Amino acid sequence: MNPTQPTQFWTEADSSSSCDVLVIGSGAGGAPTAALLAEAGFDVIVVEEGKWVEQGSVAPFSLEQMDQQYRSGGVTVALGLPSIAYTEGRCAGGGTEVNSGLYRRPPGEVIERWRDRWQINELDPDSLLSIATEVEQAIHVTPLPGPASKPSELLRRGAESLGWQFDESPRWMKYPNNDVRQGQRQSMTRTYLPRAAQSGARILTNCRVNKLHMKNTSATSAEVTLGTGKTARISFKYVFVCGGAIQTPAILQRSGLHKNIGNSLAVHPTVKLAARFSEAINIPDDVPVHQVKEFAPDLSFGGSASHAGLMALALLDQWSQFGSAIEQWRNMAIYYAAITSVGRGRVISVPGLKDPIVTYRLTRRDRELLRSGLSRLSLLMLEAGATEVFPSFRDAPIVRGRNDLTQLQNSFNAMKASVMSVHLCSTVAMGENRALCGADSFGKIHDTHNVYVNDASLLPDAPGVNPQASVMAIAIRNIRHFISHEKRNV
């Protein structure tokens, strides 16, 4: 068997299957969960709503990738004032297949805050960071073996000019012959999912979980819809819901579990701009590795994918004034300002609707951070040598010098901006604080016997950095605890 391919074990004649452990979702939480369980001798089935898409078969950050590997073609929205666009991976490997691959360890002070406020037992920063070291080896976290791209170097140049702190984020990549252009993402379909399959896990793609069937405080089976449209049932002794911060609470709610489920969504809202330079600098299929952390954890700056289609979207809010700039898109790149929001959102599963309704409320403090963030980001681009900066909000001015920054600040309103996020978490917070937490200190849903969560939903709040390292470290911590305590019952 080729371990990079899913095991297709279901036939059209089947109406049911069974296992020790059902893992729902195959991303940064689900894939390590499945691998460690299978390696410990559990009979594991992994179900993934999306399909298996081989790396390299679609261009990174392209419209084709959005169609094949994102939910709803990459266009989903949390309703609010303003609404916040967000993205969800919907494929084998989840978000690890489609994101930029930038890696950030969970900050020690964040782990301590989570432990103390949410009363998470045995959450030790040193132990979690030790697991992070293990993850980094498994997914080959490494800095670039050569020079960064031009958009990344421009970000570094601007920060150096202003005396702002910056660094290079390592990535989970392998670089054959140390060639930056040949980078191979070490996502879940290249790492933990093959490990799971090699140890006997059965992986079923194009399989949507409709709900869990509950008997008293235990789940007994999952009702699923296969890619053919056929409805079937999977029985299990334990279930780990790892569908991400939106789909996990939706599945639990559809199954009748509601206590502190889906009412505490946390995200990193971002605003963006397009910067034009006097030379060709655009790299359509990659993102900058440098990030500016001068104002962290409240505010950070980085670069986004910048192919022509995304560039047009960045200019769209003020198209009447900015639209003509698209002709020089090869001289342009997109950059973002991300904030650590104190606002919160909700995920609400509504009977009759396939996907949940998602809402989010920015606080006044969040709105002001977005304003100052976009202004500081514009200054950063000017110092990097940009000839023109095009902020992404309605009625925005073209920024050509420092004198234009006051007009930008005065005209900015979060209601007029294209606010988005790619970091979603905290919808089933873990811990023993029953007023805040939907799951216990190791991910088991409170007042259930065999229903676990093991993905970004468990993070008590937004960590201020890319959360996938935190997700993977906590998932491995939790699953090892489960194995040590539960294997004797199988």
Which residues form the catalytic set?
Answer: 423
Looking at residue 434, what DSSP letter applies? Answer: T
Q: Amino acid letter at 466?
A: N
| Cβ-Cβ contacts under 8 Å for 257 (sequence gap 6 or more) | 214, 445, 448, 451
Q: Amino acid letter at 414?
A: A
Q: Comparing C-alpha atoms, which of 438, 484, 369, 475 is closest to residue 106?
A: 475
Sign of CA dihedral 157, 285, 98, 193: negative
Q: Amino acid letter at 223?
A: E
Structural contact between residues 208 and 24, judged by C-beta atoms closer than 8 angstroms: no
Q: Rounded to whole angstroms, how far apart are CA atoms 340 and 430?
A: 20
Q: Rounded to whole angstroms, how far apart are CA atoms 430 and 440?
A: 5
Structural contact between residues 331 and 278, judged by C-beta atoms closer than 8 angstroms: yes
The 3-state DSSP class for residue 87 equals: coil
Count how many Cα atoms sit within 13 Å of the Cα of residue 355 in the half-sphere of its side chain: 15
Q: Rounded to whole angstroms, how far apart are CA atoms 70 and 101?
A: 16
Q: Comparing C-alpha atoms, which of 30, 118, 38, 17 is closest to residue 483?
A: 38
Q: Rounded to whole angstroms, how far apart are CA atoms 446 and 84?
A: 30
How many residues belong to the chain?
490
Q: 76-78 and 84-86 as β-strands: parallel, antiparallel, unpaired?
A: antiparallel
- The encoded tokens of residue 297 equal 């954890």
Q: Rounded to whole angstroms, how far apart are CA atoms 325 and 315?
A: 8
The 3-state DSSP class for residue 474 equals: helix
The 3-state DSSP class for residue 336 equals: strand
Structural contact between residues 363 and 298, judged by C-beta atoms closer than 8 angstroms: no
| Cβ-Cβ contacts under 8 Å for 390 (sequence gap 6 or more) | 273, 274, 275, 276, 314, 315, 318, 322, 325, 396, 398, 399
- The encoded tokens of residue 164 equal 């702002």
- 338: which strand partners? 270, 300
Could you count the other beta carbons within 10 Å of the beta carbon of residue 195?
Answer: 19
The 3-state DSSP class for residue 67 equals: helix
Question: In degrees, to the nearest 5, what angle opens at C-alpha 95 toward C-alphas 92 and 98?
Answer: 90
